[in-house]
């Protein structure tokens, strides 16, 4: 089984045919795919990612009981119940609720991945669970970094490298230079992830937004044992 890495949605067209009937792991560490796992971990009944603000508002109009979450350019959308901070999705606010989420980059990567047979979602917080699910599925995997408006970013690339390293340790093969680069970066960063990322564009953007405490949540490893799969338009929790 082989590991491929797609460093940004802008590169996806190169892999469009290859992902058919394979596995894709969608990665948007800061913060979409991290928040999606937190929602399910904290008891949301269903989570539906959608690409646009308009679609989220239309769903809400049809079903006012839905709670809608999302950001554009990193800020909460007006009229939404939640932004995109994983710390907002507390058990008190999400248990038993149906949520809709739309984000700048994460949901776009999800909607590009529909031809895959398995679409996994997550981040550092459920890394080991994701690796176990990918291994159980036994198909080539594409680690799909959501990036930032088409640009490659460090945190998604590092997480791709971390997952690739675990798969290589289990005997998987590396298919491309993007995976090799991601693994080398992870090797350098793993001892001090916060330090390594302190210069990253997205981290600096967070500091300017006073959302630094989100970073701790997004970079902490394996606080959840839950793998998350995207299926028929909704996210499904797969407990380990």
Tally the C-alpha atoms within 13 A of residue 91's C-alpha that lie toward its C-beta: 3
Contact call for residue 141 and a copy of itself (CB under 8 A): no
Q: Where are the beta strands (DSSP E) in the chain?
A: 2-6, 23-27, 46-49, 67-72, 75-76, 98-102, 118-122, 141-145, 173-174, 226-231, 234-239
Candidates 51, 115, 132, 152; binder of a copy of itself (CB under 8 A) is 152
Does 199 bind a copy of itself (CB under 8 A)? Our answer is yes
Contact string 93-132 vs a copy of itself (x = CB under 8 A):
----------------------------------------
Answer yes or no whether residue 185 interacts with a copy of itself by CB under 8 A.
Answer: yes
Quote the least distance from Cβ 11 to a copy of itself, whole Å.
5
Residue with tokens 């009229």, as numbered in its chain: 79
Cα 173 to Cα 165: distance, rounded to the nearest angstrom: 10
For position 181 contacting a copy of itself by CB under 8 A, the verdict is: yes
Q: Which of 49, 239, 44 is nearest to 126 (CA)?
A: 239
Cβ count within 10 A of residue 64: 6
- 169 makes contact with a copy of itself (CB under 8 A): no
Q: Minimal CA–CA distance to 126: which of 200, 39, 185? A: 39
Task: Give least dist CB 70 to a copy of itself, A.
Answer: 23
Q: Min. distance of Cβ 72 from a copy of itself in angstroms? A: 18
What residue ranges bind a copy of itself (CB under 8 A)? 7-8, 10-11, 13-14, 149-154, 157, 174, 176-178, 180-181, 184-185, 187-189, 196, 199-202
């Amino acid at each position: 089984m082989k590991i491929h890495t797609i460093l940004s949605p802008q590169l996806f067209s190169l892999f469009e045919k290859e992902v058919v009937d394979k596995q894709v792991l969608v990665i948007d560490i800061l913060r979409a795919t991290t928040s999606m796992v937190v929602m399910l971990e904290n008891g949301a009944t269903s989570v539906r990612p959608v690409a646009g603000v308009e679609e989220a508002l239309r769903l809400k109009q049809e079903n006012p009981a839905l709670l809608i979450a999302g950001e554009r350019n990193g800020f909460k959308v007006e009229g939404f119940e939640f932004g995109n901070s994983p710390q907002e999705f507390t058990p008190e606010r999400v248990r038993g609720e149906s949520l809709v989420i739309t984000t700048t980059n994460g949901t776009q990567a999800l909607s590009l991945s529909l031809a895959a047979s398995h679409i996994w979602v997550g981040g550092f917080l459920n890394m080991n669970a994701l690796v176990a699910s990918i291994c159980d599925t036994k198909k080539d995997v594409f680690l799909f970094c959501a990036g930032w408006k088409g640009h490659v970013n460090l945190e998604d690339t590092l997480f791709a490298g971390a997952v690739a390293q675990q798969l290589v340790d289990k005997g998987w093969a590396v298919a491309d230079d993007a995976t090799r680069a991601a693994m080398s970066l992870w090797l350098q960063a793993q001892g001090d992830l916060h330090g390594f990322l302190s210069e990253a564009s997205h981290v600096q953007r967070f500091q300017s937004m006073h959302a630094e405490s989100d970073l701790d949540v997004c970079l902490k490893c394996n606080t959840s044992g839950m793998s998350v799969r995207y299926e028929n338009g909704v996210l499904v929790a797969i407990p380990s």
